[in-house]
Amino acid sequence: MVHLNPQPESNALHGEIRHCPVKPSTGALACMINAEIGAVLAVMRRNVRWGIHYVADDDQLEHSLIHSLKELRKQIFSWQHPWNTINPTVYLQPFLDVIRSDETGAPITGVALSSVYKILTLDTLDLDTVNVGNAMHLIVDAVTSCRFEVTDPASEEVVLMKILQVLLACMKSKAAAGLTNQHVCNIVNTCFRVVHQASSKGELLQRIARHTMHELVRCIFSHLPEISNSKLIAAGSRLSSAEMAGVLDKDHMFGNTQQENGDDGVEYDGQSSKEHASTIPMGKSAGEMYAREAEESGKVEDGQDGEKLMMEPFGIPCMVEIFHFLCSLLNVIEHVGIGPRSNPIAYEEDVPLFALGLINSAIELGGPSFSQHPKLLALIQDELFHNLMQFGLSMSPLILSTVCSIVLNLYYHLRTKLKAQLEAFFSCVLLRLAQSKHGSSYQQQEVALEALVDLCRQQTFMAEMYANFDCDITYSNVFEDLANLLSKSAFPVSGPLSAMHILALDGLVSMMKVMAARIGNELPASDETSVNCEGYEAFWTLKCDKYNDPSCWIPFVRKTKFIKKKLMVGTDHFNRDPKKGLEFLQGMHLLPDKLDPQSVASFFRYTTGLDKNLIGDFLGNHDEFCIHVLHEFARTFDFHGMNLDTALRLFLGTFRLPGESQKIQRVLEAFAERYYEQSPHLFFNKDAALLLSYSVILLNTDQHNVQVKKKMTEEDFIRNNRNINGGNDLPREFLSELYHSICEDEIQMIPDQGPGSPVMTLSHWINVMHKSKEASPFIVCDSGALLDHDMFAILSGPTIAAISVVFDQVEQEDILQTCVDGFMAIAKIAAHYHFDSVLNDLVVSLCKFTTLLTPLSIEEAILAFADDVRARMATTAVFTIASGYGDYIHSGWKNILDCVLSLHKLGLLPAPLVSDAADDKESSSDLEPEKASTSSSSTLQPPSLAPQRKSSGLISRFSQLLSFDMEEPRLQPDEEQLAAHQCTREVIQSCHIDSIFTDSKFLQAESLLQLVRALILAAGQLQKGNGFMEDEGTAVFCLELLIAITLNNRDRILLIWQGVYEHISNIVQSTVMPCTLVEKAVFGLLRICQRLLPYKENLTDELLKSLQLILKLDARVADTYCEPITQEVMRLVKANATLIRSHVGWRIIISLLSITARHPEASEAGFEALAFIMSDRAHLLPSNYVLCVDAAREFAESRVGEVERSVSALDMMAGSVVCLVRWYSEAKNSVVEEASVKVSQDIGEMWMRLVRGLRKVCLDQREEVRNHAVLTLQSSLAGVDVIPLPSAMWFQCFDLVIFTLVDELLEISLTNSPKDYRKMEGTLVLAMKLMSKAFLQSLQDLSQQPSFCKLWLGVLNRMERYMKVRFRGKRSEKIHELVPELLKNTLLVMKTTGILMPSNDIGGDSFWQLTWLQVKNIVPSMQSEVFPDDELEQIQAKHNKTGGIPVTTKATVPVPSSETTV
């Protein structure tokens, strides 16, 4: 007995055949064959029947089988030629005879089969071997017709396994190409027989038989891609023969005959059982299909051609036969009455599952090559998919899973050829099963959902579903339905989360990830292209020019989607009221303004979702327009090549046939007319088609109405239709086939309203196949993001809601991470396509999961956060989104900032969170370390609420020490708290929250504006609260963030400045006591100005105007922060003085400096800043000259500092005259004369402001300051000598400055105590000298003016008063000596210049007379000293000679009555 070792031999089938390392030599092959001969003979000799053979009269000495083996043994060693030149039939034939003999038992047959298998596996046979084709044919013929005696069940199974071995080896051999189509079919036939027979044998044989069948199918269909189209065309021209089916039937290839016992045929003790007969009833063979096609085309070939085709090398013909057979195995469902709720497992799960597995293997290996062979493709499109639709509703999860695997493969390889079929499968099977409301079991739901999720993981699946179905008006919205299904399935309606919820979540996340991965692969054109569909256009006629060009089909599908949306609205209106619905469609430009029958008929025919009852009523109406619509509706169908019942099924599947007989007649008349028009060869006239259609309707009602007890027989049906074809009978075969078709499959009079029908009826399938023929080409999407914008608009809302619900309820970290991955993918897509509202909704949703907004104590909040994985993940996601996609966050900033503020309150934010831009990191608080430390610490913990008064640092520090003493001692944290703190800090650090604000300079304008508004709003809400002081730390933090953002966005300051300024203004003007908030506001404002002035010259005035807020500070606040404010202003001035040009800007700066003049701590910095401006004369400008002079005067008058500061202020005032001279010189050289006069006037006014300011300082109580002021005034008067000041200005100077100063000094000396004004005598002396020098300086110019006499008399009057002044009752010797000297010097100058000359006027008020009258009151003898008598006579004599005309005529004016002497 021969034992079978299946595992090694199975491996041999896979490996040895194709991987034999060394081909044996001729001698080695001879030895091997000799050994096999010996093995066969040895087994045969064990049997008495073969062991001894006596010679009889007519008998041979040995049996022919033994004799042939021995003869072969004699020959093999004599062969010296190469082995491939030896005819293999010579050494194979003896073994094949043993296999074929019905006299041998199972052991002998098994050894012979092993010998053949060994020869095949040694690669001795290849295409170069002589007569290899014939040898392969002999092997297959012998093995497939193997006969043997069964001695025991075990040996029988061994032989069957060896048969499978040899047949598979034949297919895998290098010489397999020599096999014909017929032989390949025979191999498959024999293997399937063994599979069928093995069902009653051992488990091992069953498994090996099925495995071999799978390997055969894989081996055969692996050659499909290699077959060229030319070979296909050549084969196809011969394959359309009905004889092929006859050949296959003749050979009983696939068991088309049935038997009752189900045993397969082998030879038992010389008695043959029946030929293989399967219990699997077969459908129509492919041969019959070819025959029908051939008959229709008129190209029926004879049987010889069919047989010749089957004897050619194997290719498409055998693949068609095998694939058709595999599909026919699934037809069992039609014979056992499997309904939508019945259980096919009760019949037999094994056969369809086995067939589905074989079909899946064939599709996996054939792949896209199926599409190149029309007959194979036709089998997939029709028979296979119809069966898949049926088995898709199986209650067996295993069958459903296999069906889904096949559909996935078909989608991947052949989706361009299966558009309508895929839509039907998705809508009627997967989407229906995945919804529990249709009564499917949990296992069915899970398998269907798994299949959908697998499809969603394909990169192009969702895009292709959307483009081909959702954007096609004749198909359902598969993408939208799938998105809604997954989102709803992820919602846990009641109870905890299940695997279904997680699976749906995985599908949603997969879709989002696929879309996110495609970002960056868009077409150059924008995804947001608007669709303009104004005006009427027949939507059913729309076509795309190039379905393979995305730039062409993308706008097309967008347009059709837009139309489809409007159609859905119109359909809803029509289903409520047909008349108003049509009117609405006209208004939507979907129907013409004037309705025509063709447009209405096309609307009924091609629009999905219409109520089919209403369509039937409309079409059956007797109205003339409705009748025209009915006939146009019928013309939309193509009935070419259809049987009458098929055409009726198709026609009646689009509406519900009305119940009234008249309406039925009108409808059937239109149908019959159209059917006869396209199939005139069947009927004599259209009346015959109408009568038969009526008869079919009656038969359908009779057969399938439960109320009809007596059913119509076939003879009754044929008899009822006699003589209807123009007086003749229709062919009996035709009527008989029609009868059986109606009996087996009912014509549905109530067609399905939706795509998710409970059962895929024949009528429904006919509609699917008809739609398949009319379908537009399947649009193939590549890896580019072609329609992701449109898809995301549909998908985003439900997806965010679903993922949020799962994220809220699940606890497993891996599922939480899946949710976060989905959130991040959504954020990426929303940001890329500018779905700002989606992104903001996502941020709002995520912020709720952070738990940061829950009111807890600090320790409780940190512990809760550390223990909550969901909160940590949500927090990380929120800030990752904010950092990466902040450009598109608007309203979401509020929620993000709420989280940031919560972290701030918990003290978890990193220290440099509010740092400025990278190039501006230097501290602005070098001079105030206490403030700097407060600023840095405020980011780590809530800042202290006690304000720090800079003017009293000791008291401040003392109060701090007291507050520290009053604090309760803190308990040391335990290990759990330390771990929680550490975990929380690590999470927060990984969020990089600081980048949100430091990188705000990269935000888009709108997002930046919203961020600033959110900060201001958050701070404003804190101010409006009841406990303002409790929230001051948070308000300060908001302000710091706001300032940091402002500094980091200096290039876009105009965008946010108004809001920032108003916020700071509210803080400044609403604060009446010193506090950290107002401190940060003031210094933040100064800091902004410091940093932005160098970069924004056009905003200089705007920024400087903001500093007016400092001037509006409450007195107590201003006093507290005066010193640091001044230091910051000084910094600002030193860094940006050259940038400040306007008067407005300087006025604010100088005002800030001026108010420090009398502040004990701030005056030093204020004076330093002013000195910087005035000492470096480059910063002293016409725009700030007067302001600086006034400020310097205030510092000069201030007694806060030392006397030296006042003296320095006076020196700066005096030094400013140099600038006046320079400006005049520059203006004189660059402008015309008229303009020069104007410049002189302006400079004169500035000079006048200077000297008037100095006059005020000249009245100072301090002697040093007073005297230095007089000297400074004197130098200031002398410094403008080169400037031609107007005469009027000099007169004004004398009246308002010099004379006033002299008078006021005299008044002070007389009315005040010497203790208050020390050494006034010296000041009076300086004042008198100043007046004299000023008069002489301007004498030449003023003497020509009419008011000169008045001026001169004013000088004399004040000299006279000073001569009479007394100090403590004594006259002043210094003044008594100085005045005559100054007077004499002045008179001499006037004499020399000819201003003062004698006159002949007697008794008149001449200048000469008035002068001497006044001089005599001062020094009576002065005239003789200036004009001696002899000199005076000479002058008068000379005057007389000139005719009495005075040398110099001067104006005479009366002495002012106001002038009085002391």
Closest alpha carbon to 571 in 531, 524, 607, 621: 607
DSSP letter, residue 381: I
CA dihedral 272, 275, 280, 285 (to 10 degrees): 180
Out of 71, 275, 660, 744, the active site residue is 660
CA 14 – CA 1428 distance, rounded (Å): 152
CB 835 within 8 A of CB 800: no
Residue the block writes with tokens 């006279």: 1360
DSSP letter, residue 4: P
CB 1395 within 8 A of CB 1355: no
Q: What is the CA radius of gyration of the chain?
A: 57
Q: How many CA atoms lie within 13 A of 627 on its CB side?
A: 8
What type of residue sits at position 1345? Answer: Q
Distances (CA, A) of 1271 to 364, 470, 1213: 111, 96, 12
CB 1033 within 8 A of CB 909: no
Query: What region does 523 belong to: left with phi over 0, alpha with psi -120 to 50, or beta?
Result: beta
Closest alpha carbon to 474 in 363, 577, 563: 563
What type of residue sits at position 1080? Answer: K
Q: Look at residue 169 and give its three-state secondary structure.
A: helix
Question: 248-283: buried (b, 16+ CB within 10 Å) or exposed (e) per residue?
Answer: beeebbbbbeebeeeebbbbeeeeeeeebbbebebb
Closest alpha carbon to 1130 in 1183, 1166, 1092, 1154: 1166
Angle of helix 88-100 versus helix 26-46 axis, rounded to 10: 20
CA 502 – CA 490 distance, rounded (Å): 7
Backbone angles phi, psi at 728, to 5 degrees: -110, 165
Q: How many CA atoms lie within 13 A of 1368 on its CB side?
A: 7
Query: What region does 298 belong to: left with phi over 0, alpha with psi -120 to 50, or beta?
Result: left
Backbone angles phi, psi at 173, to 5 degrees: -70, 155
SS3 for 1342-1396 is HCCCCCHHHHHHHHHHHHHHHHCCEECCEECHHHHHHHHHHHHHHHHHHHHCCCC
Closest alpha carbon to 329 in 388, 274, 275: 388
* 750: CB partners within 8 A, 6+ apart: 656
Backbone angles phi, psi at 708, to 5 degrees: -85, 115
CB 134 within 8 A of CB 89: yes
Retrieve residue 162's tokens: 């060896």
Q: How many CA atoms lie within 13 A of 36 on its CB side?
A: 26
CA 11 – CA 17 distance, rounded (Å): 10
Does the annotation mark 660 as catalytic? yes
CB 157 within 8 A of CB 55: no
Residue the block writes with tokens 């009458």: 644
Query: DSSP string of 225-257?
Result: GGS-HHHHHHHHHHH--THHHHHHHHTTTT--S
Q: Look at residue 1342 and give its three-state secondary structure.
A: helix
Retrieve residue 1064's tokens: 């700071």
C-alpha 471: how far from its chain's center? 22
Active site residues per annotation: 660
